[in-house]
Amino acid sequence: MSPVFGHGLGLGKTVITLSAIYDLCLDNFEIRKVLVIAPLRVARDTWPSEIKKWEHLKGLSYSVAVGTEKERIDALMTRSTMYIINRENVDWLVNKSGIPFDFDMVVIDELSSFKSYGAKRFKSLLKVRPSVNRIVGLTGTPSSNGLMDLWAEFRILDLGQRLGRYITHYRNTYFTPDKRNAQVIFSYKPLPGAEDKIYKQISDITISMKSIDYLKMPECIVNEVSVYLNEKEWNIYSKFKDDMVTKLGDEEIDAVNAAVLSGKLLQMANGAVYDSENKTHIIHDKKLDALEDLIEGANGKPVLVAYWFKHDLERIKNRFPVRQIKTSKDIEDWNDGNIPIAVIHPASAGHGLNLQSGGSTLIWFGLTWSLELYQQTNARLYRQGQNETVIIHHIITKGTIDEDVMTALTRKEETQASLIDAVKAKLEVMR
């Protein structure tokens, strides 16, 4: 049995899979040892968080095998039901760790990351695939870059039973050359009817669920993505919060009052801060890493990223190929689906700006104190005429002022003053 689930965002792929694992392992005793392969931060944070979150999953033991080689080996040698590893270490696990690959069930979270049949992770997993009795692939859209992606994904799942053992056979059966230069073929396009034939071939092991079929539309799903500072980063943040001054390199960063302090703390939570000369000092990239995961998890669907500080925009631009929504042409191109990753400042996301045709995923990289600007920005996608479920992600740095902002927005606090008062109150308690 080798199912693949194609779920839209927000339909609970992780908890559904965990519930099945629980039943197979602890109720029916059909499975003894499960390997979960996921993106690094999803492996480290999301799967453990989901296990802890649900009452019916209590008793399901797990071990997270990420980090240094010693940490990974120690985790894999720990007695457990589930072992969670990041996909970058699949080749290491199979070929270099020295640990027997004796898992009788494998779950691939984000199956589309195995779409490249030339990649080491694909070749390594395929090598041990015959020893696995049960395998599950999870993804929002299995064919994010077209139907050609499906061959490698299903080669892992069913060892070539449905789409063939060789990519050339699959290509010749369902595709014809598209762009070419003499004898050099650059791309292929599906033959007439190929899509239906491919889907029919894989339909017996595929469950496809779309948000629009299961949620009243338009629906809005609000999600918080937590990131965590390491000890060094936390010391910088907490010292500044306590003393209203800190030193980064040769520069001193200070806050003259609670309003300035709250702004500086928000900057630090985002990963960088300005000094008195308006020079940017980088503290961490945790939010950029989380943003990368969310963009990848969208599987090619357009995403709109809201930022607050200029250094947020600069760092996002340095990391991703983004386009800023500023002009009418930008809006037109976004609504035509021509901008994969767009960035917008809440102050420019005013009333009447219609962006709902271009996408349904909004990611808050940095939060704003203003409830009005927050609601306006959300309403660019979550509005009449939106035909998809709107997903609003908030990247939250745990233990920081981000949590205070989210609490205030949730309670519909309308002014910045209440949040500044909260900062003042904390300062008074600490002193």
Q: Which two tokens stand for residue 289?
A: 């890493």
Dump pLDDT digits (tens) for 315-332: 999 999 999 998 778 888
pLDDT by residue (tens digit) across 123-171? 999 999 999 999 999 876 565 456 888 899 999 999 999 999 999 999 9
Q: Are residues 36 and 174 in the same domain?
A: yes
Last residue of a domain, one of 173, 188, 209: 209
267: domain CATH number is 3.40.50.300
Q: Where are the alpha helices (DSSP H) in 175-309?
A: 194-202, 211-214, 231-243, 258-270, 286-297
DSSP string, 138-179: EES-TTTT-GGGHHHHHHHHHTTTTT-SSHHHHHHHHEEE-S
Does one domain contain both 276 and 133? no
Residue 261 — φ and ψ, nearest 5°? -60, -45
d(C-alpha 20, C-alpha 36), whole Å: 13
Q: Which residues pair with 297 in a beta bridge?
A: none
Are residues 184 and 301 located together in one domain of the fold? no
Residue 174: per-residue pLDDT? 94
Q: Could you give the CA distance from residue 295 to residue 319 in angstroms, rounded to a whole number? A: 12
Residues 204 and 300 in one domain: no
Calculate what percentage of the chain has a pLDDT beyond 90. 50
183 lies in the same domain as 223: no
Question: Does one domain contain both 188 and 225?
Answer: no
- Shared domain for 228 and 143, answered yes or no, is no
The last residue of one of the domains, among 175, 209, 243, is 209
Are 108 and 174 in the same domain?
A: yes
Q: Among 209, 231, 261, where does a domain finish?
A: 209
Residue 218 preceded by cis peptide, ω within 30: yes
Same-domain check for residues 334 and 418 = yes
The per-residue DSSP string of 4-25 comes to EEEE-TTS-HHHHHHHHHHIII
Residues 236 and 367 in one domain: yes
Q: What is the pLDDT of residue 330?
A: 87
Residues 298 and 329 grouped into a single domain = yes
Beta bridge partners of 252: 247
CB 409 within 8 A of CB 252: no
Q: Residue 184 has what pLDDT?
A: 83
| C-beta neighbour count of 327 within 10 angstroms | 9
- How far is Cα 182 from Cα 198, in angstroms, rounded to an integer? 29
Q: What is the pLDDT of residues 51-76, one digit of tens each?
A: 988 899 999 999 999 999 999 999 99
Q: What is the pTM of this model?
A: 0.61
For 113-129, write each residue's pLDDT tens digit: 898 999 999 999 999 99
- Domain range enclosing 340: 210-431
Q: How far apart are CA 179 and CA 185, in angstroms?
A: 6
* Domains held by the chain: number: 2
Please indicate, yes or no, whether residues 166 and 232 belong to a single structural domain of this protein: no
pLDDT digits (tens, 9 = 90+) for 330-361: 888 998 999 999 999 998 775 446 788 899 99
Domain of 142: which CATH number? Answer: 3.40.50.10810
- Taking the C-alpha atoms of 310, 314, 319 and 320 in order, what is their torsion angle to the nearest 10 degrees? 80
